[in-house]
């Protein structure tokens, strides 16, 4: 979309109808959000992946609502055009409808998000329905749902058996039926994701789910080469910025130690130029 106006939820539905692919990346701070927004990204997801790629945890389970609000505020400040979606962290919506509304409300009122994303299929439909009834737009997320890593037995692809595929088709139907405006499909066979995309009228956004989805999302720290604790097979590295940062830091250390930095042009001079 060439226009400079802010992307809104109906724009995503229109993109599906027109066959224009939706682009989504994660962001966790204002500076990265500004860079991605300037590039023309449609959606910025403040993913709870921040627990792993920013905070160094080995899962997303330790991410709290307060952390999500804090990072969402920063991303919103750095964004002019993209739709900002904030992840609902582990156990922030399952305990009661009241908690779901209160916590999603905080992500919007205090964080400034335009929508929330929550993990889960048929089991999450009640919360999705309640939130959308309150005017809170919800993006669903099915397939490999990282908040259930222990139940799944690891970060593994799902939907490869007939039974798992049938369950995912039912999940997609339940999430759309509950009022979600879009659906993330994570780590599942491309054929299954293609079928869900064809059957559902809301846009699907794939990560490790093939090219037939209506859009794609990647964790920006993976895509730009900042994070290499593990790189899932479905990630494409569009840059190796981690290596560049380490090399730049080495040059800085070297120049400081040699007394080459700061040079005259980086120094504050007296009025007489001394």
Interface contacts to ligand KIV, rule CB under 6 A: 26, 45, 47-49, 87, 141, 184, 207, 217, 219
| Least distance to ligand KIV, CB of residue 271, Å | 52
Nearest residue (CB) to ligand KIV, 47 versus 194: 47
In DSSP terms, which residues pair with 206 in a beta bridge?
A: 185, 216
Around Cβ 39, how many Cβ atoms within 10 Å? 10
H/E stretch holding 119: strand 115-119
* Minimum distance of ligand KIV from residue 117's CB (angstroms): 7
Backbone angles phi, psi at 188, to 5 degrees: -145, 165
Q: With respect to ligand KIV, which residue has the nearer C-beta, 41 or 261?
A: 41
Q: Which is nearer to ligand KIV, 232 or 265 (CB)?
A: 232
CB of residue 54 vs ligand KIV: minimum separation in angstroms? 11
DSSP 147: G
The dihedrals phi and psi of 10, each to the nearest 5 degrees, come to: -60, -25
Closest CA to 29 of 234, 226, 179: 226
Nearer to ligand KIV, 178 or 185 (CB): 185
Residue at token pair 């224009």: 20
Considering only CA atoms, which of 238, 239, 229 is closest in space to residue 51? 229
First vs last C-alpha separation in the chain: 52
Q: Which residue's Cβ lies closest to ligand KIV?
A: 47
Q: Report the nearest approach of ligand KIV to the CB of residue 132 (Å).
A: 19
Q: Helices in the chain by DSSP H: which ranges?
A: 9-18, 30-39, 50-53, 65-77, 97-109, 125-133, 149-152, 162-177, 190-199, 220-223, 241-258
**Which is catalytic among the residues 2, 186, 244, 247?**
186
Alpha carbon distance 49, 106 (integer Å): 19
Q: Cβ closer to ligand KIV: 24 or 108?
A: 24
Q: What is the nearest approach in angstroms of ligand KIV to the Cβ of residue 56?
A: 15
The verdict on whether 255 is a catalytic residue reads: no
Residues identified as active-site: 186
């Amino acid at each position: 979309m060439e226009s400079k106006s802010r992307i809104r939820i109906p724009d995503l539905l229109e993109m599906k109808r027109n066959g224009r692919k939706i682009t989504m990346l994660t962001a966790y701070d204002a500076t990265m959000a500004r860079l991605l927004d300037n590039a023309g990204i449609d959606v910025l997801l403040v993913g709870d992946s921040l627990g792993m790629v920013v905070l160094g945890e080995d899962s997303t389970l330790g991410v709290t609502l307060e952390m999500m609000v804090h990072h969402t505020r920063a991303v919103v400040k750095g964004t002019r055009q993209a739709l900002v979606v904030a992840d609902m962290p582990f156990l922030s919506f399952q305990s009661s409808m009241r908690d779901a509304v209160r916590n999603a409300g905080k992500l919007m009122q205090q964080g400034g998000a335009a929508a929330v994303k929550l993990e889960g299929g048929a089991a999450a439909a009640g919360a999705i329905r309640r939130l959308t009834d309150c005017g809170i737009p919800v993006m669903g997320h099915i397939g490999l749902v990282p908040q259930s890593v222990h139940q799944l037995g690891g970060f593994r692809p799902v939907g490869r058996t007939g039974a798992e595929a049938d369950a995912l088709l039912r999940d997609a139907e339940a999430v759309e039926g509950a009022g979600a405006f879009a659906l993330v499909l994570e780590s599942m066979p491309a054929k299954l994701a293609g079928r869900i995309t064809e059957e559902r009228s809301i846009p699907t956004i794939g990560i490790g789910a093939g090219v037939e989805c209506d859009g794609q999302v990647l964790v920006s720290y993976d895509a730009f080469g900042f994070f290499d604790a593990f790189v899932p097979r479905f990630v494409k590295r569009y840059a190796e910025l981690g290596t560049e940062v380490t090399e730049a830091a080495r040059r800085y250390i070297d120049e400081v130690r040699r007394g080459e930095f700061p040079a005259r042009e980086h120094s504050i001079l007296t009025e007489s130029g001394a």
